[in-house]
Each structure stands twice: as C-alpha cells, then as structure tokens.
Amino acid sequence: MSKVLIIGAGGVGGVVAHKAAMEKQHFSDVMLASRTLSKVEAIAAEVEQMHGRKLRTAQVDADNVPQLAKLLKDYKPQVVINVALPYQDLHIMDACLEAGVDYLDTANYEPPDVAKFEYKWQWAYQDRFKSAGRMALLGSGFDPGVTNVFCAYVQKHLLDEVHYVDIVDCNAGSHGKAFATNFNPEINIREITARGRYWENGDWKETDPLSVSRIFDYPGVGEKKSFLLYHEELESLAKNLKGLKRIRFWMTFGDAYLKHLEVLGNVGMTRIDEVEFEGQKIVPIKFLRALLPDPASLAKGYSGKTSIGCLCEGIKNGEKKRYFIYNICDHAETYKEVRAQAISYTTGVPAVTGAVMMVTGKWKGTGVFNMEQLDPDPFLQDVAKRGLPWHVEER
C-alpha cells in the first residue's frame, strides 16, 4: 500500500483523482494538490460523493520548488503524478529529487517562450535520478503513453523488426461549442500550429503546419481526414524501436475547428510573445485561453467516440506483416464513470496505471524512462481492466 500525490486540477487531474480513489488495493492514501485550492476541493468532494473515498487536498505552487519539496517531505508519497502544465515538469522533477520521491508525468517539458517540446531537458535528469536511486517515468498518458506501449508490444510479440509506424488519433466526438479545445487551450494550440515533423531513415523531416493530410479508416468511427503533426513520442520511439525506418503522427480536425484556428492565427490571437495593450503587456494566446471554454466543462453532453492507435509494419520470420493496435473510447460512458470527456479519460487512466506499475514494482529502475523501454504486458493488462480495452488487427 502506497501514498500517491497528484498535482493538477484540470480535466485530466479530475480523472486521475477519480481513478486513484477507485484504486484501493495499491493506493493507501491519495492527495490532490494545485495552485487553486477551491478546484482541488471541488474535485475531492465529487470523488467522495461518487466513490465514497475521502481525498486529502493541498494548495501548492508547483513552480516553487522549496514549497513543493516541503509538501512532499511532509506527506511522503511513493510517487508524484504530474498532470500540471508541461512548463512545470522540471520544477516538479527538482522537488521530487529533493524530497526523494518517484516521478511520473503525461506530457514532456516545453519552455513557455518557445513553442517547442522535446525530451532533451528531461533526459538530462538521467544521472541525477539514477544517483538518487529514484525513477522518473515520462509520458504516461495515451499519446504519448499507451501509443508507446502499443509499439513496445508489437516489437515484443508481433514483429521481429518494426520498420514503419503511423500513430493515428481521431476524436469523432461533438461538444456542441463553436470552438473549444479538449485540453488546455494554450498547450493545444501551440502544438497544432507548430511545424509538422516526422522521422525517416535517420533524419527529421519538416512540413508546414497542417499542410500534409491523408484519409485513415478508424475503427468504430470510419474514414476521417488526418493531418501530419509533430508529437513527442516520435522522438523517443525513433530512438528505441529496433530497425525503424519511418515514424509519423496524424490527428483529425473538423473543418469548423480549422477555420476558427486559421482566423485566430491571422489576427494574431495565437501569438505566444508579449504585446502591449493599454499600457499592459499581455500574451495573446493566454488571453485567448481565458476566453475559451474550460476543457473540463465540455464533458457533460459530449457525444461520440475517440479512436487512437498505431499502424505498424515490419518483418516477422522473414515475411512482411502489418498490424493495427488501438483503443476506442466513448465520451458519454466516461462522463458516467468519472464526469469527464474521453480526451481527459484516455490521458488520466494510463497515468494511474503507470503509477500502479511503479508502486507495485512491476516497472522499476533508477533514472529517467520512456514508456517503451519497459515491459508492455503488465501495463496493457492493467490499463484494459481500468477502462481502456485495446484490440489488435492484422491488416
């Protein structure tokens, strides 16, 4: 039995709090902390009402390393689940090292002033975590996260060499809003408006934002136009998959979403640099974030499904083989269970599974790890039971 501390009170934080409270076998005590105490108290009250388990709550500024380290030393969790903003990853890792606590997140670090996310900053913590005898698990969401583990499963069980991987992500749901993002608007828009990037034959290739598209047939959803993006799991998978020749990431967007995004970009609302307005300096994308709906508020009445998976091609016993491994998740069903839409659910559930892997010792080690570096079997068994069943098709 282990204590777990969750940092973050957004849509994903709510899912993690619900699912951690439901995990009574391995989590003896759960604390939810965030900068805004009212948010964590509201989630804790909802969790207690639905699941009959009382969570501890705390107010903490995750960017204040001494303050967070003190909370960790006082509470003594075995693992921290970081579902705060990616800007805060390094500060939370610093606090975990100071307090001697294992670390887990769902998205890699990116600097606030540059729309660029990569693992170099967190990989640089390898020696520090190793010498401290602590474990840091990076990207234990869905993509990154489950998609990495899907690739590891294919490499372990289905293909001797994985030559080509296309990670495909479709949200075919409807929230009824003219324009809204399914997770933090600032992070979401920064990701989508960045240049596309994929790895092929040892080199990174770049494309203009949303300039490359193709049609994929998504299980449970059907054919959808999908756009090539850069996504963080490409970086670690390109490093860790044996025999890889190319890896790409694709995501669907509706026409109305793309039109709104184009207009917002044209008028400068997606800028991440400061502008002066009536004597004050503001960052346009942060102002836009304040105007858009809170992603957590979209859950009620959300309909439709997500369909996310990995299309992997390679060699098995000298023959070419192609497999698709995927999950389908229903927005309405996730709302019934944990009052969240499926995007938050598919990120939050794997975070809890990753924490269970760590506290039970099924995944263990010292240093910094990406998901595909660990045994996929216990993780996929657990995440399926926890609400994200997965399927494999030979194509």
Residue 154 CA: distances (Å) to CA of 157, 158, 337: 5, 5, 30
Q: For residues 349 and 334, state if they share a domain.
A: no
Residues of the chain with pLDDT under 70: 114-115, 182-183
Q: For residues 293 and 156, state if they share a domain.
A: yes
Q: For residues 234 and 135, state if they share a domain.
A: no
CATH number at residue 236: 3.30.360.10
Query: What is the separation, in whole angstroms, between the first and last Cα of the chain?
Result: 43
pTM over 0.75: yes
* Structure confidence at residue 259 (pLDDT): 79
d(CA 270, CA 262): 10
Pairing of strands 213-218, 222-229: antiparallel
The predicted-structure confidence for 230-241, as pLDDT tens digits, reads as follows 999 999 999 999
Q: For residues 165 and 282, state if they share a domain.
A: yes
* Structure confidence at residue 273 (pLDDT): 84
Q: For residues 97 and 170, state if they share a domain.
A: no
Structure-token pair, residue 157 = 């069980």
Q: What angle do CA 196, 107, 111 make, to 5 degrees?
A: 70
Location of structure tokens 């509706």:
254
Q: For residues 230 and 83, state if they share a domain.
A: no
Q: For residues 151 and 199, state if they share a domain.
A: yes
Q: Do you find a cis peptide bond into 144, omega within 30 degrees of 0?
A: yes
| List of residues 6+ apart from 327 with CB closer than 8 A | 142, 146, 306, 307, 308, 309, 346, 388, 389, 390, 391
Q: For residues 219 and 196, state if they share a domain.
A: yes
Q: Which amino acid is at 124?
A: A
Q: Report the number of distinct structural domains present in the chain.
A: 2
- Would residue 245 count as lying in a domain? yes
| List of residues 6+ apart from 310 with CB closer than 8 A | 147, 150, 151, 154, 165, 166, 167, 168, 324, 325, 326
Identify whether the C-beta of residue 305 lies closer than 8 Å to the C-beta of residue 330. Answer: yes
- Would residue 226 count as lying in a domain? yes
Q: Phi, psi (5° rounding) for residue 105?
A: -135, 180
- Would residue 19 count as lying in a domain? yes
Q: For residues 81 and 39, state if they share a domain.
A: yes
d(CA 16, CA 24): 13
State whether residue 350 is helix, strand or coil: helix
* Structure confidence at residue 335 (pLDDT): 96
- Would residue 350 count as lying in a domain? yes
| List of residues 6+ apart from 48 with CB closer than 8 A | 54, 55
Domain around 353: 2-142+345-385
Q: For residues 314 and 221, state if they share a domain.
A: yes
Identify whether the C-beta of residue 57 lies closer than 8 Å to the C-beta of residue 37. Answer: yes
Give the CB-side neighbour count of residue 214, counting CA atoms within 13 A: 12
d(CA 72, CA 33): 11
* Structure confidence at residue 108 (pLDDT): 93
* Structure confidence at residue 10 (pLDDT): 92
- Would residue 212 count as lying in a domain? yes
- Would residue 166 count as lying in a domain? yes
d(CA 342, CA 327): 11
State whether residue 221 is helix, strand or coil: coil
- Would residue 92 count as lying in a domain? yes
Q: For residues 174 and 306, state if they share a domain.
A: yes
Q: For residues 217 and 254, state if they share a domain.
A: yes
- Would residue 76 count as lying in a domain? yes
Percentage above 90 pLDDT, the chain: 78
CATH number at residue 81: 3.40.50.720
Pairing of strands 135-138, 56-59: unpaired
